[in-house]
Amino acid sequence: MKNGRIAVPSEGLGGLEGQRSAHFGHCSTFTLIDVVDGEISNVSTISNQEHREGGCLVPVNILAGQNVNALIVSGIGMRPLVGFNNVNISVHYEATQPSIQTVVKMMISGELPEMEAKNACGGGGAH
């Protein structure tokens, strides 16, 4: 990724030095990383909201409103995956690295595959 905004579901306060949450829909924070010319230009965070109205599409709406282009997850349900695809946010998969900084660098260098429907978690819930 040369230019754009990446979102990473995060534990606690998030940030580039933080740890990625294994359960994207239930994370407390999303770390937002702006990339310009293949370099990290800005890092910010935004709080997730509870799954009340809108269920597992709540994170889709939050991130779409923040002009996110790509999301890095370790897993995701079918319903939010379709939701992200519908708002033109690509969902990328990486299951072994909990470091936000590591997965962002992998994304920038083009190492993370895009999530396909066949790899989504069963039941349609937010992983």
Average pLDDT over residues 81-109: 94
- Asked if pLDDT for residue 54 goes beyond 60, the answer is no
- Asked if pLDDT for residue 118 goes beyond 90, the answer is no
pTM of the model: 0.89
The full set of domain ranges for the chain reads 4-114
CA distances 116 to 16, 19, 35, 42, 111, Å, are: 26, 24, 24, 29, 15
Could you tell me the pLDDT band of residue 51, with boundaries at 50, 70 and 90?
A: low
Average pLDDT over residues 40-59: 79
Average pLDDT over residues 21-36: 90
Residues 108, 35: contact at Cβ < 8 Å? yes
CA distances 85 to 78, 98, 121, Å, are: 10, 24, 16
- Asked if pLDDT for residue 16 goes beyond 50, the answer is yes
Which fold, 4-114? Nucleotidyltransferase; domain 5 (3.30.420)
